[in-house]
Chains A and B, each alone.
Chain A
């Protein structure tokens, strides 16, 4: 079983839709959870991060962590064509080196 599982998609939605992107993980020691966004021909960039369980909101984006289910989500409200990108989840354990473990990314296409 891979440490971090993420459906590669592609996920295609119309503009204005609510998008839900998800990852599951197997290592219960993960405490720090991140979402990176990668546009075509670019490297990933950090979009949001959360610690342990709970929700975090930033504009149209909401990150959610359910540690009991080992499941994290990223919601995008009122999706825009400019949100079209690959979204990678990442997570790391607490203490020592915080080098993240990444998922394989979900390709999102928002069409006008």
Chain B
């Protein structure tokens, strides 16, 4: 595997379900990110981890819970979601958020549908 991988690619869940999204980066980067991409809206930053420590949480509802067990893996745990949470969830990594441009390397995303 190369780059940033995400599983599953598609997920349909009911509002009472609990599920997790998984992201893995094979680039040796130090930072990982979760973004939410909804139709006609800007890409929204949700969480940032740098060296496995959460450094930013953009007022995301508590029904989204991130976990970063090591610098290569990132999870997003989901519970009691709402239909408006349906979106494409993108994981990204970067070498170091303190470097200019801080190029983001994205995975293909998980298309989430909440019924």
Contacts and interface: CB of A to CB of B under 8 A. Distances in A.
26 contacts: A2-B42, A4-B42, A6-B42, A8-B40, A32-B100, A36-B104, A42-B106, A43-B106, A43-B107, A43-B109, A44-B43, A45-B106, A46-B104, A88-B43, A96-B98, A97-B56, A97-B98, A98-B98, A99-B33, A99-B56, A100-B104, A101-B42, A103-B42, A103-B43, A104-B40, A105-B43
A103 B90 CA distance: 15
B5 to A, nearest CB: 10
B101 A34 contact: yes
A51 interface: yes
Interface residues of B, number: 25
A41 interface: yes
Interface in B78-92: 90, 92
A34 B100 CA distance: 11
Nearest 10 interchain pairs by C-beta: A43-B106, A102-B43, A98-B102, A104-B42, A97-B97, A46-B103, A49-B101, A44-B106, A102-B42, A43-B107
A81 to B, nearest CB: 21
Interface of B: 4, 33, 40-43, 45, 48, 55-56, 90, 92, 97-109
Say whether chain A's binding surface is mostly helix, strand, loop, or mixed: loop
Contacts of A97: 48, 55-56, 97-98, 102
